[in-house]
Amino acid sequence: MALLVSLPGGNQAMTWILLLLLSAECLQAGDSAESDRKGPYGVNQPAHISGVQGSSIEISFSFYFPWELAEDPQMKILWKWKNFHGEYIYNSTPRFIHEHFKNRLILNWTQPQTSGVLRILDLKKKDQTEYFCRVHMNTKEGMTMFQSIPGTQLTITPGQRTKAETPARDLIENTENVEPEGQYMDPKENPKDNNIVYASIALSNPALPGTSPCQAVPEDPQEETVYSIVKAK
């Protein structure tokens, strides 16, 4: 594309200045596609995510750099929590998981990929804090390490308690002061014997005549007495 500039009086110096300014603006417009990169290297993470207590969440990450990797890049991903200089909670190599997150962290990433996902399982209330991804790699200029500056803020919301999670104490309180009752079964005729009728009476903790209710009766909690009546033809 040709650009023609014409000024009155033929001032060539001013013409060249305008051309240089226009060229600089064109270069800046060409770099707008990489405006999300705030430097030659860095780590991108979501600013904020939220999850329900007891469920799981995923923190995505990606990173970029200008260096050429060494033959053995030795790339590894680490994670910190609480603040930029906080405690490490995960290391891909050698494998390390913080005691608080035991059996609850899964990293979906493989060298030499430049993006991945950290999954946190069975969310706890104490998990609500900031998380920072850190990258280590071996380049032809030496070992390099960098991490996300703002990190990701994780918010935990309480989950709803279901019937299955109702404490056993509530069930006990709902069943207190329920007195056992005797059961009576109507006489039934045995279909195999038309001459005999059987009746069954089941009693729960029967009290003996003349004994107080506080005295224990050394009998089974439930007894059954069977009576039979012979029919006359």
What is the residue-level pLDDT of the chain in tens, covering all 233 positions?
333 334 444 455 554 544 444 444 433 433 333 445 778 999 999 999 999 999 999 999 999 999 999 999 999 999 999 999 999 999 999 999 999 999 999 999 999 999 999 999 999 999 999 999 999 999 999 999 999 999 999 999 998 754 544 455 454 444 444 444 444 444 444 444 555 544 544 544 444 445 444 444 444 444 444 444 445 44
66 and 148 both lie in a single domain: yes
- Could you tell me if residue 151 is inside a domain? yes
- Could you tell me if residue 5 is inside a domain? no
- Could you tell me if residue 149 is inside a domain? yes
- Could you tell me if residue 16 is inside a domain? no
94 and 144 both lie in a single domain: yes
112 and 202 both lie in a single domain: no
48 and 134 both lie in a single domain: yes
152 and 46 both lie in a single domain: yes
206 and 133 both lie in a single domain: no
Long-range contacts of 97-106 (CB under 8 A, 24+ apart): 100/124, 100/126, 105/79
- Here the CATH number for the domain that contains residue 72 is 2.60.40.10
84 and 131 both lie in a single domain: yes
106 and 210 both lie in a single domain: no
Is-above-0.75 flag for pTM? no
Residue among 226, 203, 207, 204 nearest 215 (CA): 207
Owning domain of residue 49: 42-157
- Could you tell me if residue 119 is inside a domain? yes
- Could you tell me if residue 23 is inside a domain? no
126 and 226 both lie in a single domain: no
212 and 140 both lie in a single domain: no
- Could you tell me if residue 11 is inside a domain? no
- Could you tell me if residue 225 is inside a domain? yes
102 and 188 both lie in a single domain: no
Q: How would you label 161-188 residue by residue, b for 16+ Cβ within 10 Å and e otherwise?
A: eeeeeeeeeeeeeeeeeeeeeeeeeeee
- Encoded tokens for 204: 């729960």
The dihedral through the CA atoms of 212, 213, 219, 225 has a sign that is positive
96 and 203 both lie in a single domain: no
Q: How many domains does the chain have?
A: 2
